[in-house]
Amino acid sequence: MKLAICEDNPSHYEIIHTILQKYPPGFFEITHFTSGDEFLRAIAENGCSYSIVLTDIDLGSDTVNGISLAEKINHISPDTQIIFISQYLQYATAVYETEHAYFIHKQQVEKYLPLALRAACQKLEKLHTRYLYFSGNSRNYQVLCSDILYLERNLRQTTIYTRTGTYTTKEKLTVLTERMKPDFCLCHNSFAVNLHAVRTYSHKGIILSDNTEIPVSRSYYQQFKDAFAFMMLASHREVP
């Protein structure tokens, strides 16, 4: 998950970074910006691809602060979750001019940053559609995502396995999975699973709630682990 930190104070950045290092390796892909101007230049060139942005409010600039930064993010990437971290409590009211997930006083960052990240992950999860829409056999379908256990691609056909039956479509596995993220993840070139249906997993494979065994390939294993950890964090469950 891509996460940006906008913090001009090196010691404060190190405290935040140390907390983030407690999460599973690779869980967060962290980019550090030392000023609001630097962040704005980056998203002007490449767009805002960050799921979460942690930002100080006082960034040492008269032109760009954390609140104006958040307003810009709200405009160009409304799904991005913003967490304010400031040592000045007088900003606590001003942040409500923006859409954000959390406000943390810097003196309490170790206590509240994990809670803020969980809240941000939960909001990201709710943003994604609950239904999968697709066509197959000259018909259009609407299937509740939570009813889908896994998907399998064979030749030019994708089979969707649900708790009550199966559907087939010519739509690509990668395209269908992308529409159902973050609840679904590729675990193999030919398979994608509902992370909420996973009972257990190892390098040897994945066992679903109905005891179906799904293969997991070496090239997809870390991606699957990261996605599963994200789901558990958002669901208030312990990350293994």
Q: What is the CATH number of the domain that holds 226?
A: 2.40.50.1020
For residues 101 and 140, membership in a common domain is answered with no
Given a cut of 50, whether residue 173 has pLDDT beyond it is yes
The pLDDT tens digits for 93-105 are: 888 889 999 999 9
Between residues 113 and 60, the one the model is more confident about: 113
Domain end call among 72, 96, 127: 127
Domain end call among 86, 102, 127: 127
Domain end call among 85, 100, 127: 127
In a domain, 239, yes or no: no
For residues 107 and 187, membership in a common domain is answered with no
Residue 113: give its domain's CATH number: 3.40.50.2300
In a domain, 20, yes or no: yes
For residues 37 and 108, membership in a common domain is answered with yes
Helices H / strands E in the chain, number of each: 6, 15
- Split into its structural domains, the chain has a count of 2
For residues 80 and 115, membership in a common domain is answered with yes
For residues 149 and 62, membership in a common domain is answered with no
For residues 199 and 215, membership in a common domain is answered with yes
For residues 136 and 213, membership in a common domain is answered with yes
In a domain, 41, yes or no: yes
**Residue 83 structural domain:** 2-127
Note the pLDDT of residue 240.
Answer: 46
The pLDDT tens digits for 109-133 are: 999 999 999 999 888 877 765 788 8
In a domain, 108, yes or no: yes
pTM for the model:
0.60
For residues 85 and 157, membership in a common domain is answered with no
For residues 138 and 172, membership in a common domain is answered with yes
Tokens for 2? 């891509």
* Helix or strand holding residue 126 (H, E): helix 109-127
For residues 173 and 118, membership in a common domain is answered with no
For residues 12 and 47, membership in a common domain is answered with yes
For residues 137 and 102, membership in a common domain is answered with no
* Pairing relationship of beta strands 2-6 and 148-154 according to DSSP bridges: unpaired
Classify residue 230 by burial, with Cβ atoms within 10 Å: 0-12, 13-18, 19+: buried
Note the pLDDT of residue 239.
Answer: 46
Determine the residue type at 13.
Y
Between residues 117 and 1, the one the model is more confident about: 117
In a domain, 223, yes or no: yes
Edge to edge, the sheet with strand 157-162 lists: 166-169, 157-162, 148-154, 191-194, 184-188
**Mean per-residue pLDDT over the chain, rounded:** 90
* Pairing relationship of beta strands 29-33 and 52-55 according to DSSP bridges: unpaired
Note the pLDDT of residue 237.
Answer: 53
pLDDT (mean) for 64-93:
89
Percent above pLDDT 70 for the chain? 96
